[in-house]
Amino acid sequence: MTENAYKPGSYPDLPPPPGTVGVYGWIKNNLFSSISNTLLTIISAILLYYLIDGIIGWFLFDAVYDAESKIECRKIDSGACWAVITKRVGQFVYGFYPEAERWRIDISFLTMFIAFAPLLYPDIPKRKWLLWFSLVYPFLAYILIMGGYFGLQKIEYSLFGGFMLTVILGVSGIVCSLPIGILLALGRQSNLTVVRTISICFIEFMRGVPLITLLFVASSMLNYFMPPGTNFSILVRVIIMFTFFSAAYIAEVIRGGIQAIPKGQYEAADALGMSYWQKTRFITLPQALKISIPGIMNTFIGLYKDTTLVVVIGLLDPLGIGRAALADTKWNGLSTETYLFVALFFFVSCFAMSRYSLWLENKLNTDQK
Amino acid sequence: MTFLSNIWRNEKSREIIIQIFVLFCIGWLLSWLVMNVNANFKALGKDISFEFLFIPAGYDINQYLIDYNNRDSHLRAGIVGLLNTGLVAIFGIILATVMGVALGIIRLSKNWLASKLAYWYVEFTRNVPILLHILLWHGIIINTFPQTRQAINFGDLTFLSNRGFYLPKPITESGIEFVYLCFVISLIFSVLFTKYAKKKQDLTGIQYPVFWINTAVIIILPSLAFLLSGLPISFEIPVLKGFNFRGGLHMSPELAALTFALGIYTAAFIAEIVRAGILAIDKGQKEAAESIGLKPSKVMNLVILPQARRVIIPPLTSQYLNLTKNSSLAIAIGYMDLVATLGGISLNQTGREMETMVIVMLIYLSVSLSISAFMNWYNSKVKLVGR
């Protein structure tokens, strides 16, 4: 075949060399490209086989979902004994909240998504109206959950527990810590020596001690710092500590964002004659917050996970409920099942949060690529 | 009026006014808190004193690195706790680093299966609270490992049971000093040789296989000394006597669970840091290094790693710090660390919440602050000098 057989520009595309495309090519390139790579594939495959074979069987196929005790479970099948969970699902979700009033929790939980939607998705239709709802929501939720108004039965804090408690602690901590964190970050970058020193002391102290010591302070010492006779509930004290703790971390993340803004931005703002607050509102924060979204979300996820620590000071979050279940002689020794169930709940919610953060990051990314 | 507004308009004087105002507010807040504490303490008939540190603690600690019994003081109990915190932190950091670096590199590998497995490991691990990891591992060891009589046996040397892990304990005998000496000598040699090789390369361009020679010397010289001085290390092997093992090194279920949990959890974060650090290096750096003909190992050691190190080390240190602070969760499974001894039992026995918590917090604070001071120094040292 000579080159002249084709007119210029009409030379047909040749098929790619064999073994570089398609399923075969993909497998060859990604799994067996070299000896070490092949070895890695084989090891991973063996690992995967054992995982699926051992864990899935134990988890699902050999598992027992309904029984009266651990001994009964073991008689039925050899796998996991999920009966310890199914017998107490209500407690795991609502704690000791009275059964007749649980609809109040359901409603506040479902409306929470409506309240958060306009904050989380800027493109949502009718956003303005929904934002009003978001503003009212905290009061609505408080009235619904606590009761005591409009003929709703008043519920004691001590009955709160389970996943409901996790969500209450997590969400209120997250919502309160962001504004405080922003203020602390601005304080730390401030020109005013006094403000800067105070912010640094606060941030470094909160970041330097383990959260658990702060919770001990909340549970046993915070009342000493209040006027004699004041007594506010442990739940509020714990939320205050969570808020301060994660505000300090958020402040550091946002400070990183502020420092990453090019100097020219400030100089331009100064040249335009903007005041400090104008500069902060229109120049610094929009850019700094955008850069720090991944870090802020990580802090939120951390706070949400850290709510489990309240079990140490005796609140009945899902771990507390689980431990109470395990203390029952009927279910003694089923710790793996109980903790894995709670772990699954945290995995699902935290994974969802991190996916949202990725989505937001991509959406706000204005870099030219 | 114009005088006042002039003061407010002047930047200097306005700053001073604001600062005085803030100082006043903070001073008022602090004095209010102190007054409240005073009033509350008076009402309860309490005072602040640190004398309780020197009275006998009266409780037992099941694991101690320095001698301790229940007649020792609260102070000593606190030190035992602090050492236990250090012990689990070091074990955890070693485990987390090894696993984390390996996982980070696997996630970047071209192997689809391995990289996906590592990805899901990271996602599952870091999205579950650390306290759950600790309780889960503790539960697994306590509930699913066999009893001591049926302990999992590795060649009659190491035993795993629900009472903890039993390992052979190395015992040094006379003559070991000679081995140590040889080890030090080989280290000194390797430092000097590295310097010499670098100088030689600068002058003549001749390269020595520095790494291999150093490794060989560091391994061979002490081993030879070890053989020559008549094998001065023997092992005390745990033996089952009655219901429990005697001798050997004992790792309690609490320590083991805490080490695994902290190591496995932190490894997921370290994997992400390592991955991000390597990805942060511009592709052009690698391509440039390859195009001037460097071997793959040289590309890694001379071009990628020195730059990735700058990105990796600061967050890595903060992960180590997090691990150390997370080890305070030991209290949930009854491992006697600093928070469980001084901030737990001592607090409950003496009723001195204020004093014990202040001491515990100050210790953690001083560790964190000194490490972050070191990090600031390191950052300023390795920072790229901009315009």
- For chain A, which domains are there? 15-61 (no CATH), 84-97+155-364 (1.10.3720.10)
Same domain, B369 and B224: no
Residue B319 CB-density burial (10 A; 0-12 exposed, 13-18 middle, 19+ buried): buried
Query: A324: distance to nearest CA of chain B, Å?
Result: 13
Q: How far apart are CA A198 and CA A108, in angstroms?
A: 38
For residue A192, pLDDT beyond 70: yes
Count of structural domains, chain B: 2
In tens, the pLDDT along B217-250 reads 888 888 888 888 777 777 777 777 777 777 777 8
* Residue B375 forms contact with A (CB below 8 Å): no
Beta-carbon separation of A212 and B328 below 8 A? yes
Which residue of chain B is at minimal alpha-carbon distance from A340?
Answer: B136
Beta-carbon separation of B22 and A198 below 8 A? yes
- The candidate with the shortest Cα–Cα distance to B284, out of B303, B298, B297, B301, is B303
* Residue B15 forms contact with A (CB below 8 Å): yes
* Phi, psi (degrees; rounded to nearest 5) at B336: -85, 80
Same domain, B125 and B88: yes
Beta-carbon separation of A31 and B111 below 8 A? yes
* Residue A260 forms contact with B (CB below 8 Å): no
* Residue B105 forms contact with A (CB below 8 Å): no
**DSSP secondary-structure letter at B147?**
P
- Between A199 and A98, the more confident residue is A199
Give the residue numbers spanning the domain of B187: 169-236
In tens, the pLDDT along A126-177 reads 778 888 888 888 888 888 887 777 777 777 778 888 888 999 999 999 999 9
Same domain, B88 and B219: no
Residue in this structure with the two tokens 């600790």, named with its chain if needed: B134
Beta-carbon separation of A346 and B129 below 8 A? yes
**B56 lies in a domain?**
no
Q: How far apart are CA A268 and CA A175, in angstroms?
A: 33
Q: How far apart are CA B382 and CA B376, in angstroms?
A: 10
Q: Does residue B71 contact residue B54 with C-beta atoms inside 8 Å?
A: no
Beta-carbon separation of B136 and A31 below 8 A? no
**B246 lies in a domain?**
no
For residue B261, pLDDT beyond 90: yes
In tens, the pLDDT along B278-301 reads 888 888 998 999 999 988 878 888
The interface predicted TM-score (ipTM) is 0.85
Residue A132 CB-density burial (10 A; 0-12 exposed, 13-18 middle, 19+ buried): exposed
Q: pLDDT value at position B98?
A: 92
> Could you tell me the pLDDT band of residue B202, with boundaries at 50, 70 and 90?
confident
First to last CA, chain B: 47
Q: How far apart are CA B168 and CA A119, in angstroms?
A: 59
Structure token digits, residue B142: 């306590």
Domain of B315: which CATH number? 1.10.3720.10
User: Among A173-187, B69-83, B139-153, which range has the highest average pLDDT?
Assistant: A173-187
Q: How far apart are CA B138 and CA B125, in angstroms?
A: 16
**B46 lies in a domain?**
no
Q: How many residues in total does chain A contain?
A: 369
Q: pLDDT value at position A4?
A: 59
**B31 lies in a domain?**
no
- Between A337 and A228, the more confident residue is A337
Beta-carbon separation of B135 and A208 below 8 A? no
* Residue B360 forms contact with A (CB below 8 Å): yes
**B36 lies in a domain?**
no
Strand-pair category, B239-241 with B233-236:
unpaired
* Residue B380 forms contact with A (CB below 8 Å): no
Q: How far apart are CA B343 and CA B353, in angstroms?
A: 8
Same domain, B275 and B173: no
Same domain, B207 and B131: no
Same domain, B127 and B154: yes
**B301 lies in a domain?**
no
Same domain, B359 and B258: yes
In tens, the pLDDT along B266-280 reads 999 999 999 988 888
SS3 B152: strand
Residue A241 CB-density burial (10 A; 0-12 exposed, 13-18 middle, 19+ buried): buried
- Between A290 and A57, the more confident residue is A290
Beta-carbon separation of A195 and B39 below 8 A? no
Q: Among the three residues B205, B236, B267, which one is the final residue of a domain in this structure?
A: B236
> Could you tell me the pLDDT band of residue A367, with boundaries at 50, 70 and 90?
low
Q: How far apart are CA B240 and CA A336, in angstroms?
A: 28
* Phi, psi (degrees; rounded to nearest 5) at B10: -70, 125
For residue A100, pLDDT beyond 80: no
Q: How many helices (H) and strands (E) does chain A have?
A: 16, 0
SS3 B56: strand
Q: pLDDT value at position A291?
A: 85
User: Among A293-297, B99-103, B227-231, which range has the highest average pLDDT?
Assistant: B99-103
Q: Across chain B, what does the average pLDDT equal?
A: 85
Query: Average pLDDT in the B357-369 region?
Result: 90
**B199 lies in a domain?**
yes
Q: How many helices (H) and strands (E) does chain B have?
A: 14, 8
* Residue A153 forms contact with B (CB below 8 Å): no
* Residue A175 forms contact with B (CB below 8 Å): no
- The candidate with the shortest Cα–Cα distance to B275, out of B111, B97, B100, B123, is B100
For residue B361, pLDDT beyond 80: yes
Same domain, B175 and B155: no
Same domain, B189 and B259: no
Same domain, B198 and B329: no
The model's pTM is: 0.85
* Residue A37 forms contact with B (CB below 8 Å): yes
Strand-pair category, B239-241 with B244-246:
antiparallel
Nearest 5°: CA angle at B149, between B148 and B152? 70
Neighboring chain B residues of A211 at a CB cutoff of 8 Å: 325
CB pairs under 8 A between A and B: 157
In tens, the pLDDT along A254-289 reads 988 888 888 888 889 999 988 888 998 998 888 888
Q: Across chain A, what does the average pLDDT equal?
A: 84
> Could you tell me the pLDDT band of residue B1, with boundaries at 50, 70 and 90?
low
* Residue A273 forms contact with B (CB below 8 Å): no
Beta-carbon separation of A311 and B117 below 8 A? no
Q: pLDDT value at position B386?
A: 54
**B365 lies in a domain?**
yes
User: Among A160-174, B47-61, B371-385, which range has the highest average pLDDT?
Assistant: A160-174
Q: How far apart are CA A36 and CA B110, in angstroms?
A: 11
Nearest 5°: CA angle at B23, between B22 and B29? 90
For residue A182, pLDDT beyond 80: yes
Strand locations in chain A, DSSP E?
none
Beta-carbon separation of A192 and B15 below 8 A? yes
What is the percentage of chain A residues whose pLDDT exceeds 90?
Answer: 17
Question: Which residue among B26, B33, B109 places its CB closest to the CB of A40?
Answer: B109
Q: How far apart are CA A110 and CA A105, in angstroms?
A: 9
Of A8-17, A193-202, B17-26, B355-364, where does mean pLDDT reach its minimum? A8-17
Q: Does residue B131 contact residue A319 with C-beta atoms inside 8 Å?
A: yes
Query: Average pLDDT in the B200-207 region?
Result: 85
What is the percentage of chain B residues whose pLDDT exceeds 70?
Answer: 98
Same domain, B273 and B362: yes
Same domain, B100 and B143: yes
Beta-carbon separation of A225 and B36 below 8 A? yes
Neighboring chain B residues of A319 at a CB cutoff of 8 Å: 131-132, 135
